[in-house]
Amino acid sequence: MGLIDFDLFAKPNDDFKQRTALGGIGLFIKLILSSVSIVSMILCFLLLVACFINFRKVTWESEIMVDTKHKEQMILHFDITFPALPCMTIGLDVIDVAGEHQMNILKSVEKVRIGSNGIPLADQLLGENSINIDSFKETSFPENGCGSCYAGTELSPESPFGINCCNTCDEVIGAYKRLGIPLPPLTTFEQCLPSKSISKLLATRKGEGCRLHGYARVNRIPGNIHIAPGVSFQIESAHLHDLRPFDDYRFNLSHRIDKLYFDSVEGYSMDMGDTVSSDDEIKKNLISNPLEGTLKIASSYDMAFLYTAKVVSTEIKSLSGASITTHQYSATAHSTNKPPGGLPGVFFDIDISPLIILYSEQNAYSWLSFMAQLFAIIGGIYTIASLLDAFLYQAERRLAMKRQLGKTT
């Protein structure tokens, strides 16, 4: 079986051929004509394989719609490192426009002390039993004593003293809050005087940093997230931080955001480790978290860093029918020196978009499109090869006639 046997195109029988003086040249042209078929088959095979590969590919189509679903909460995951701020000085608070305050969240947040060399200190994990600044406030009242509630004093039949007792700073603040009395400066109250032991403890933590990571449930309404120093407390609807326990301590708010994203409450994991699921891989390919990897170096002490995040609900549907509900956000950032009476810290201003982004996984081609492309490839290559074969064959015949008539040299 020779190369000519692979020729797909019909040629005249030998009875209708007229031998010429072309000799080997004619045979060479016939071999070229036969090679057209071989090249056509190879090219057709390669194109069909490429078409099948494209058919197997999937694409993601996005669509923006008005979010009509009611979602009450979402989960904020974060991992933020403060290389020059001791863990005992900072806390995490969440406040929203509905008036809900979550102060000094500890249960789902871990604080890891970091040495001046950037390496975590062994056995220095501060979790639910993290240092609480309130525990360093001095009180001169024994357990069976009765501290004054000042203007918040009221009759209390349950108390053996006949009046309510305030032995801690929080109890004084609570008494004023219950009666709706404006709160004077906290240094007015003996229970709220800062403890000298705080300064001593801070001296032992000099040069340390803190890694703050975990998660927090936040309502799906506009709000603020504070990572700030001081003792946080609430008076009526006001959220305040008392920095007096730290005297004249200067706060270096330089920080690095390694992880910060919002997720849905449904199916979220309480694990604070670095486990990765298939859903996480899909989210990573489709959703970007613009604040992750952010590094801010404070140019002075007591600075305030403000991030504004616009959160948009996102739903991801795969070909298998599985659905993932999550969130993504866009963000802007700016920083400022602490104004007089202002608060240093890292603040996230959360705004909620009324829209939802839908991602749908789809095949690049339908079966109908795939079959149409197959026939188009086969028919197109066959047609082009036929035209090329006819052209070469006619060229061969004209050359043979010219030689026969002696018009060629």
| Residue type for position 190 | E
Q: Which residues in the chain come in under a pLDDT of 70?
A: 1-34, 70-71, 122-144, 157-161, 185-187, 193-201, 233, 235-236, 244-245, 247, 266-280, 339-341, 403, 406-409
How far is residue 311's CA from residue 354's CA, in Å, rounded to a whole number?
Answer: 9
In a domain, 347, yes or no: yes
User: Within this chain, do residues 251 and 124 fall inside the same structural domain, yes or no?
Assistant: yes
Is residue 201, in this structure, part of any structural domain at all? no
Question: What is the pLDDT at residue 4?
Answer: 55
Same domain, 336 and 291: yes
Listed in sequence order, the residues at least 6 apart from 169 whose beta carbon sits closer than 8 Å to its beta carbon are 134, 137, 186, 189, 191, 192
3-state secondary structure of 299: coil
Same domain for 214 and 328, yes or no, is: yes
356 in the same domain as 326: yes
Q: Is residue 295 part of a domain?
A: yes
Within a domain: residue 266?
A: yes
Q: What is the mean pLDDT of the chain?
A: 77
Give the pLDDT score at 83: 93
Please indicate, yes or no, if residue 203 is contained in any of the structural domains.
no
User: Domain for residue 260, yes or no?
Assistant: yes
In this predicted structure, what is the pLDDT of residue 296?
94
Q: Are strands 345-363 and 303-317 parallel, antiparallel or unpaired?
A: parallel
The answer to the question of residue 370 being in a domain is: yes
* Residue 275 shares a structural domain with residue 165: no
Domain total of the chain? 3
Q: Are residues 236 and 304 in the same domain?
A: yes
Q: Do 387 and 344 reside in the same domain of the chain?
A: no
- In terms of C-beta density within 10 A (0-12 exposed, 13-18 middle, 19 or more buried), how is residue 367 classed? exposed
Q: Are residues 326 and 348 in the same domain?
A: yes
222 and 166 share one domain: no
Query: Same structural domain for residues 72 and 99?
Result: yes
Same-domain check for residues 357 and 369: no
Distance between CA atoms of residues 313 and 72, nearest Å: 12
- Domain extent at residue 215: 64-130+209-363
Structural domain contains residue 94: yes
On whether the CB atoms of residues 214 and 205 are closer than 8 A, the answer is no
Same domain, yes or no: 359 and 385: no
Predicted pLDDT of residue 33: 61
Please tell me whether the overall predicted TM-score, pTM, comes out greater than 0.75 for this model: no
The pLDDT value given to residue 341: 67
How far apart, in whole angstroms, are the C-alpha atoms of residue 266 and residue 286? 19
User: How confident is the model at residue 34, as a pLDDT?
Assistant: 64
